[in-house]
Structure 1
Amino acid sequence: MEVLRSKNALCAYIERNREMGKKIGFAPTMGALHEGHLSLYEAARKENDLVISSIFVNPTQFNNSADLQKYPRTVEADIKLLESTGNIDAVYIPKEQDIYPNGLKSEKYDFDGLENEMEGKFRPGHFDGVGTVVEELFRQVQPDNAYFGEKDYQQLAIIKKMVEKKNLPVKIHGVPTLREDSGLARSSRNERLTPEQRKTAKIIHETLTQVNDWFRVVSIPEIKDRVNKIFEKTSGIVLEYFIIADEETLKETDFFYKDRNYRAFIAAFAGEVRLIDNKHLD
């Protein structure tokens, strides 16, 4: 596995492999890698000749500076983990100036309103930061296929929209959320949880599973009331939001229409750690 620590090194690597006609699969990360990330590369290996990872903690997508400072940075351990999988051909670890040559500032995007729902309401500017770094990485890596986890479903939808509007030649793939034995979605943030918080946080997935059971049987206001009561009764975790939204528009719905697909979303705090999860409603 090659470790590419500059844009120039990446460009030379991409040019060399493009000349050989290799199909490139790519999954960008912010490091602190876990099995969920590795599942992206497993999916990419099946469909591409070359699989590339990247590690870059993107400052412009953090609207909370304290959260940025606390984000775990474990680059050398991440490199060893990637090497151990056998699914990665190269990892790109750019410097800040490789991504932001004109200064640390995000572009402004119009994602047709997707950016105004859910996370957009609680994290202003977040998706401009996501769009900026992902677009730049796509232009540098030039992948044929790119892979993102469904845990960040809104991010996945926004990246698909960006690719469509910018007419970028890359196909976006969503990869199912990988979970711990308790059902808790794998996340780099989980490492900041205490053992007790980790145990409590499983209520998020348990609740989403119950919502799926109630789907189309119980009204949405009643489902919301039940979810609120579950979190009110569970100490150690605080619900930030719960919504049921149209999978295409991400707009919250108050009624189930037969010809639409829906997904339930939860954001909650276990102590200072913010956790998100979602589930397609069958």
Structure 2
Amino acid sequence: MAKLKSPEQIERIAAAGAIVAQCLRLLQQRARPGVRTRELDALAERFIRSRGAEPAFKGYHGYPASICASPNSLVVHGIPDDYELTPGDVLSLDVGVELDGWIADAALTVAVGRPSPTARRLLDTTRAALYAGIAKAQPGAHLGDVSHAIQQRVEQDGFSVIRALVGHGVGRAMHEEPQIPNFGRPGTGPLLEPGMVLAIEPMVNAGGHEVEMGPDNWAVYSRDGSLAAHFEHTIAVTREGPRILTPWDPDAPAALVRESASEKAERGSAESALTPHREVR
């Protein structure tokens, strides 16, 4: 059963989500050829802690890093290491932040250098599927409406939603009910209610939907070695409709973001931390 949050609690999650968004934009800027994923992890941890928050992933069930950095056929849960980014890579970056006991979680996939036509289509499709799903997160709708919208958007472009991995509720804990598959039938599943906070996250393979676990028991790869993409937002279901709490995407549909005054102020104060002349050390 989903744990409903009050408007005040949603604002607390949104404050953590603002830090997630800032961190993802910073990582997106720094994901360049020659950079090692371990360096991105260190940068993210410094940034998150500089904002008075904690990296929610670090230590979670023993996970050793602050972010997940998953290149190419590595779908999710890639532990940052000495992998050096090269032109043509796609890199999925997943960040979780805990602030004053509340957690937000989001992800994006970036192209390193010039992407192949398939990689570009995969990233565009997966991002579009995220927003197609979020748009269906209306009070009185069913969770299956969200899942179906994601699946339909992905499959119309000839890609495959990964069926073994799901989104989830989020709030006081990293993973709360309900689980959110990226495939399903409209009109099925739990009813969506104001106060639900959900991490919606399409995970998509360019080839088949099957995945396999890596030897470290964290990394999940596409079984056929095809490229993978992962986009995610933490959203709240409100009486006015879905609200994105992790606004990392400046091109997101404006109706889905609806920042509060406090979020706008927080975002404005953080802009200097994201400019080229300022380093987070």
Q: Which has the higher helix share?
A: 1
How would you bin the TM-score normalised by the shorter chain?
A: 0.3 to 0.5
Q: TM-score, with normalisation over the residues of structure 2?
A: 0.37
Higher relative contact order (CA 8 A, sep 6+): 2
Q: What's the TM-score once normalised by structure 1's chain length? A: 0.37
Specify which structure has the higher proportion of strand: 2
Instruction: Return the index of the structure with the highest Cα Rg.
Output: 1
